[in-house]
């Protein structure tokens, strides 16, 4: 099982939008996929139109290995299940304060899922917190959507330097640009810098388009409500690059 977290300490950068679309594309290829909504705002849960009748509290989530079947919902799309969020899981962070214990708990949940899923995709809340510290240690890949603005790039630099400098972290960081506009020189410059020598941004960018923003209205992945949208190719491109990077063995 490969674990892939969509993370950025900034909010509003497209984490949930990409996590939902990529989880859908991953499942559509035949991979058994679980999307775990870790944000108490529950945006991924909302986008997939999931209404769970289970009271999802933080403590219950950390014991998810005991009752996965009860907590996990089908998305209605083949191969795609969801571990939904609720406002209650805002307490999850406090429960992970002890990093070692937190790491053990999340690893135990992953282990319990490993037989059932090929990919677990996590939609993370926008913060740098005990939860993110634990995730940096346990997930295989960290996909980081970045808007090509100065402040958003600064936030990416802060997090990536922090992870690179810590000897405990072996997670692969996979940044990519979202809400991209090729007409803007500042965006093109950011792309050249991010993908040039020493840069590690993916080559595919997700453009800013109102059809993508409409996910909140349709409450389904882009390929479902707009099957001929040319922008599906952007999500497919990001997914393809992520897959290659996730499966690469850096030795």
Ligand X SMILES: Nc1ncnc2c1ncn2[C@@H]1O[C@H](COP(=O)(O)OP(=O)(O)O)[C@@H](O)[C@H]1O
Interface positions with Mg ion (CB under 5 A): 15-16, 43
Q: Which span sits near ligand X by CB under 6 A: 30-38, 80-88, 92-100, 204-212?
A: 204-212
Residues 6+ apart with CB under 8 A from 121: 4, 5, 6, 19, 22, 23, 26, 33, 34, 35, 36
One residue of 13, 62, 113, 159 binding ligand X per CB under 6 A: 13
Is residue 8 within 8 Å of 156, Cβ to Cβ?
Answer: yes
Is residue 135 within 8 Å of 26, Cβ to Cβ?
Answer: no
15 binds ligand X (CB under 6 A): yes
- Least distance (Å) between residue 64 CB and ligand X: 22
- Least distance (Å) between residue 97 CB and Mg ion: 23
- Partner in contact with 220, chosen from Mg ion, ligand X, none, beta carbon below 5 to 8 Å by kind: none
Binding mask 170-189 for ligand X (x = CB under 6 A): --------xx----------
Is residue 207 within 8 Å of 181, Cβ to Cβ?
Answer: yes
> How far is the C-alpha of 92 from the C-alpha of 227, rounded, in Å?
36
Is residue 153 within 8 Å of 184, Cβ to Cβ?
Answer: no
> How far is the C-alpha of 232 from the C-alpha of 6, rounded, in Å?
18
The residues in 23-52 that bind ligand X, with binding defined as CB under 6 A, are 43
Binding mask 109-138 for ligand X (x = CB under 6 A): -----------------x------------
Interacting residue ranges for ligand X, rule: CB under 6 A: 11-17, 43, 126, 178-179, 206, 208-209, 212-213, 215-216
């Amino acid at each position: 099982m490969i674990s892939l977290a969509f993370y950025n300490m900034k909010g509003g950068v497209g984490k949930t939008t990409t996590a939902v679309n990529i989880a859908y594309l991953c499942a559509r290829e035949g991979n058994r996929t679980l999307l775990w909504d870790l944000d108490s705002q529950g945006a991924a849960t909302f986008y997939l139109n999931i209404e769970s009748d289970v009271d999802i509290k933080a403590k219950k989530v950390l014991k998810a290995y005991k009752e996965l079947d009860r907590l996990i919902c089908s998305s209605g799309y083949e191969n795609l299940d969801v571990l939904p969020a609720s406002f209650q899981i805002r307490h999850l962070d406090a429960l992970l304060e002890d990093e070692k214990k937190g790491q053990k708990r999340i690893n135990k949940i992953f282990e319990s899922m490993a037989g059932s899923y090929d990919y677990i995709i996590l939609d993370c809340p926008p913060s740098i917190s005990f939860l993110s510290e634990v995730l940096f240690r346990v997930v295989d890949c960290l996909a980081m959507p970045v808007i090509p603005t100065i402040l958003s790039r600064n936030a990416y630099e802060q997090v990536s330097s922090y992870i690179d400098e810590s000897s405990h972290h072996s997670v692969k960081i996979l940044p990519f640009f979202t809400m991209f506009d090729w007409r803007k020189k500042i965006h093109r410059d950011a792309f050249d810098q991010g993908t040039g020598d020493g840069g590690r941004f993916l080559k595919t960018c997700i453009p800013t388009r109102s059809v993508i923003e409409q996910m909140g209205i349709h409450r389904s992945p882009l390929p479902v409500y707009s099957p001929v949208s040319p922008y599906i190719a952007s999500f497919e491109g990001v997914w393809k690059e992520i897959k290659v990077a996730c499966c690469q063995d850096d030795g």
